[in-house]
Structure 1
Amino acid sequence: MSESKALGRWKGRLSAAALVLSLGASQALAQAPVPTTIALPAQSLLFAPVYIAQEQGFFRDRGINAKIIYVAGPGVINAMLGKSADFTLISGGIQIAAAARNQTLLAIANTQNRFTTDIVIREPVAQKLGVSASADVMTKVRALKGLTIGVDAINGLPHSFLRFLAIKAGMNPEADLTITALQPPAMVAALKGGTIDAMVFSPPFSLLAVKEGGIRWISGPEVQLPELKSFPYNVVLVRPDYCDAEKARCQGFVAALKDAIALMKSDPGASLQALSKSFNKMEPDILKASYEVFAPFAQSDMKLTGAMLENVIAFDRISGIIASEAKLPPESALYSTAFTP
Structure 2
Amino acid sequence: MRKKIKYSFSVILIATFLLTLAACNKDSQTKPSTKKLEKIRVAEVTRSIFYAPEYVALEKGFFKDEGLDVQLMTTAGGDKTMTTLLSGGADIALVGSETSIYVYAQGSSDPVINFAQLTQTDGTFLVSRKQIDNFSWDQLKGSTFLGQRKGGMPQMVGEFVLKKHGIDPHKDLNLIQNIDFANIANAFAAGTGEFVQLFEPTASIFEKEGKGHIVASFGKESGHVPYTSFMTKQSYMKDHKAIVESFTRAIYKAQQWVKNHTSEEIAKAVQPYFPDTDPGIIKTVVERYKSQGSYATDPILDEEEWSNLQNIMKEAGELPKEVDYKTLVNTEIAKKVMIK
What TM-score results when the alignment is normalised by the length of structure 1? Answer: 0.78
SS in 2 for 1:312: helix
Q: Which runs of 5+ in 2 are unaligned?
A: 1-32, 336-340
The match for 1:16 is none
Deviations 1:213-262 (A, max 9, x none): 21212213431xxxx43321221111122211111111111111111122
In 1, Cα distance between equivalents of 2:227 and 2:92: 16
The match for 1:216 is 214
The amino acid across from 1:216 in the alignment is: I
Once the two structures are TM-superposed, the CA of residue 183 in structure 1 deviates from its matched residue by: 6.1
In 2, Cα distance between equivalents of 1:121 and 1:94: 29
The amino acid across from 1:305 in the alignment is: D
In 2, Cα distance between equivalents of 1:307 and 1:262: 22
Query: Given the alignment, which residue of 116, 124, 128 partners 1:109?
Result: 116
The amino acid across from 2:218 in the alignment is: G
The question of 1:160 aligning with 2:164 is answered no
The answer on whether the counterparts of 2:256 and 2:298 sit within 8 Å (CA) in structure 1 is no
Tell me the percent identity: 22
The match for 1:318 is 315
In 2, Cα distance between equivalents of 1:95 and 1:168: 26
The match for 1:199 is 196
In 1, Cα distance between equivalents of 2:52 and 2:67: 20
In 2, Cα distance between equivalents of 1:273 and 1:117: 22
> Residues 331 and 286 (structure 1 numbering): CA distance in 2 closer, same or farther, change over 3 Å?
same
CA RMSD of aligned residues (A): 2.4
The match for 1:38 is 42
Query: Given the alignment, which residue of 318, 332, 335 partners 1:338?
Result: 332
Once the two structures are TM-superposed, the CA of residue 81 in structure 1 deviates from its matched residue by: 1.1
Once the two structures are TM-superposed, the CA of residue 55 in structure 1 deviates from its matched residue by: 1.6
SS in 1 for 2:170: helix
Once the two structures are TM-superposed, the CA of residue 179 in structure 1 deviates from its matched residue by: 1.3
The question of 1:234 aligning with 2:224 is answered no
Once the two structures are TM-superposed, the CA of residue 185 in structure 1 deviates from its matched residue by: 7.2
The match for 2:127 is 120
The amino acid across from 1:117 in the alignment is: T
The match for 1:149 is 145
The answer on whether the counterparts of 1:148 and 1:197 sit within 8 Å (CA) in structure 2 is yes
SS in 1 for 2:313: helix
> Residues 44 and 232 (structure 1 numbering): CA distance in 2 closer, same or farther, change over 3 Å?
same
SS in 1 for 2:94: strand
Deviations 1:170-209 (A, max 9, x none): 4443343321455677544443442222221221111112
In 1, Cα distance between equivalents of 2:147 and 2:62: 33
The match for 1:21 is none
The match for 1:89 is 94
